[in-house]
Amino acid sequence: MDPRSGCPINAAVEALGDQWSFLVLRDVIFGDRRYFRELLTGSIEGIASNILADRLKRLVGAGILTREDAARGQRARYSLTEAGIQTLPIIVALGDWGLDWRRGSVELRTRQELMRVEGPAFIEAFMDELRVRHLGAEPKPHDGPGPLERLDAAFAAAQEDR
């Protein structure tokens, strides 16, 4: 689908959609939720099934996600494309703005704070990890736990501290 104008900001907004599209991407990226039911039941914002189905269809249509066709009786799995992986810095920027200008729970802010402290190299390593998980890329060597494992550990520690 062609954007309404030649403006790159407009084109990006049209492709990425609304708040639900960003939240679906957040859950695919950070929660590794790849199936419709996981996305539906795992959404802390309580997305409705018809809205989720529509956003998944739009994200696939925009080339941000792919949907593997499922055999009868199996679930379809969604994966990020390279364009979808490239939304991570956008989502991180939105999260940084949220840290600065909106209130939120300590445990839900923890991952964003970790990404902010670790900086661009962490985000690049996270994108590499997403390429392994979603695109089948070869893993790059690294010392210690990967970005997703570190983010999950920070979240778990913040929940224990509550």
Q: Is 135 part of a structural domain of the chain?
A: yes
The two tokens of residue 102 are 């909106």
Can you say how many angstroms the Cα of residue 90 is from the centroid of all Cα atoms in its chain? Answer: 10
pTM: 0.92
Amino acid at 19: Q
Name the percent of the chain lying above pLDDT 90.
Answer: 76
Domain count, the chain: 2
Q: Is 140 part of a structural domain of the chain?
A: yes
Name the percent of the chain lying above pLDDT 70.
Answer: 98
User: Which residue range(s) make up the domain with 40?
Assistant: 8-81
Q: Which of 61-70, 101-110, 127-136 has the highest mean pLDDT?
A: 127-136
Q: How far apart are CA 12 and CA 117, in angstroms?
A: 27
Q: Is 26 part of a structural domain of the chain?
A: yes
Q: What is the mean pLDDT of residues 133-150?
A: 94
> Which of 81, 102, 117 is at the close of a domain?
81
Residue 36's CATH number: 1.10.10.10
Higher model confidence: residue 122 or residue 105? 122
Asked if 80 and 28 count as a contact pair (C-beta separation under 8 A), the reply is yes
Average pLDDT, whole number, for the chain? 93
Q: How far apart are CA 81 and CA 44, in angstroms?
A: 24
Q: How far apart are CA 119 and CA 116, in angstroms?
A: 5
pLDDT at residue 6, rounded to an integer: 79
Phi first, then psi: give them for residue 78, nearest 5 degrees: -100, 145
- Closest C-alpha to 15, from 96, 86, 120: 86
> Which of 28, 46, 81 is at the close of a domain?
81
- Same domain (yes/no): 92, 154: yes
- Same domain (yes/no): 98, 75: no
Q: Is 115 part of a structural domain of the chain?
A: yes
